[in-house]
Amino acid sequence: MNKDIDIKKLRLNCYRQSKEVGKFMLQMRVPGGFIDAKYLSIVQHIAQTYGDGNFHFGTRQTFNITGIPYENIPEVNKYLEQYIEEVETCLCDVNMNTIAGEEAYWEPQSGYPTIGARNITACIGNYHCICGNINTFELARKIESIIFPSHYHIKINISGCPNDCNKAHMCDFGIIGVARMEYHPERCIACGACVKACEKGATRVLSLNENLGRIEKDACCCVGCGECVRACPTSAWTRQETPFYRVIIGGRTGRQTPRAGKMFLNWATEDVILNTLKNWQKFSAYVMDNKPEYLHGGHLIDRAGYKKFKEIILDGVKLNPECLVAENIFWDETEYRSNFNVKPINLHK
């Protein structure tokens, strides 16, 4: 098939090349993976009018529409105007006329301007889930306006609780909703349900002091999941009113060195999370010398070294008093090939 198509440009426009030359898959952003069901008809319309009639749940919670012929892309982009306006501008307060925080004109009928900062994924969180500590999609919508549009890559996954259904451990910047607990001894009947719940479902940090008829807690190792609160029949355990967050960085999948992320911040407030993310562009620009490459956050942290990452990403961020920060991080990668990192010096990045 004789086609002359700028594939790389289309990728930035969120159209992914397919096996069949000239056919593309559109990826529509759904920040936090949660949206009014009325938009499904838009998805259906695009798929049936411009694509091959099919739809895929994107692994990053995008609406993926397959089989869109190259010729249809301008029409699809025009049609997308309303969706982008409603979701990005209205719902998430994104300034579409910027790229990485810098002013940049965006033509509203030209589709998505960047693919770098990926769709923020989230579990359903406490909008629905009985385990959730936070409203995940509301957080995703707040973050969307900080990271998008941008050519700098970042994958953010949000989980409502340490159960981490949404794999915050497997992305660049994973956020987990946690709660700090309050114990009301005057309500405790020493039934031991919280002890059992923590042992079975969490970290085994609770024990019953029979002499005092009270629960004792090894607070340093509590993961803030809230299983104890759910188990307690008397509300002797409650969550503090302010939600807190744990940040896991540098996780990734991939062909070379997949690894689970490691804890960077614990017990951070929402402000700390948002302000930290505001430094993401700056950090990426520093590592890549202001030239965005197709390189994810974990790799950037590797290049800069964790300490440099920490310095830039926390620059100007006022940490809440409870917030803990990793002094150092020691990664634990899967090396598909042993001594993967030992190579000719000219191949070092």
Partner 1 sequence: MGYKFNFADADRLFCNIFDKYDIYAPKKFPKQGRYSDTDIIKYAKINSINEIEFHIKSDYSAKEVLNPINETLFYFIENEFRESSAPKKPILLFARPCDINAIEIQSKIFEENGEFSDIYFTRIKNNLKFVLMDCNGGDDTCFCVSMNSNFTDNWAIAIKQLENEYLLSIKDSEFTSDFENCEQTDFSPEFVQQNTLSVNIKEIPNKEVLNKLKEHPFWLEYDKRCISCGSCTVSCPTCTCFTTRDIIYSENPKVGERKRVYASCQIEGFDQMAGQKEIRNKASERMRYKVLHKYHDYKERFKTKHMCVGCGRCIHRCPEAISIVSTLEKMNNAIDEILNKDIQE
Tell whether the torsion through CA atoms of 283, 286, 287 and 290 is positive or negative: positive
Nearer to ligand SF4, 215 or 323 (CB): 215
Binding site for ligand SF4 (CB under 6 A): 123-125, 129, 131-132, 159-161, 163-166, 181, 188-194, 197-198, 202-203, 205-206, 215, 217, 222-228, 231-232, 234, 236-237
Question: Which of the listed partners (ligand SF4, partner 1, none) does 284 bind, with a CB threshold of 5 to 8 Å by partner kind?
Answer: none
Q: How far is the CB of 141 from ligand SF4 (least distance, A)?
A: 17
Strand partners, 181: 239
Distances (CA, A) of 97 to 56, 85, 105, 148: 29, 12, 5, 10
Nearer to partner 1, 109 or 234 (CB): 234
Q: How far is the CB of 20 from partner 1 (least distance, A)?
A: 47
Nearer to partner 1, 147 or 228 (CB): 228
End-to-end CA distance of the chain, in Å? 38
Q: How far is the CB of 232 from partner 1 (least distance, A)?
A: 8
Q: How far is the CB of 124 from partner 1 (least distance, A)?
A: 13
Nearer to partner 1, 90 or 212 (CB): 212
Binding site for partner 1 (CB under 8 A): 126, 130, 132-135, 177, 179, 185-191, 193, 211-213, 226, 229-235, 238-239, 241, 243
Question: Which of the listed partners (partner 1, ligand SF4, none) does 222 bind, with a CB threshold of 5 to 8 Å by partner kind?
Answer: ligand SF4
Nearer to ligand SF4, 76 or 197 (CB): 197
Q: How far is the CB of 311 from ligand SF4 (least distance, A)?
A: 31
Nearer to ligand SF4, 192 or 258 (CB): 192
- Distance between CA 267 and CA 240 in Å, rounded? 12
Strand partners, 65: 26, 55
- The b-or-e profile of 234-245 (16+ CB within 10 A means b, else e) is eebbbbeeebbb
CA-closest candidate to residue 24, choices 45, 9, 37, 39: 9
Strand partners, 263: 248
Tell whether the torsion through CA atoms of 88, 296, 123 and 202 is positive or negative: negative
Instruction: Give the list of residues 6+ apart from residue 244 with CB closer than 8 angstroms, or none.
Output: 177, 178, 179, 180, 224, 267, 268, 269, 322
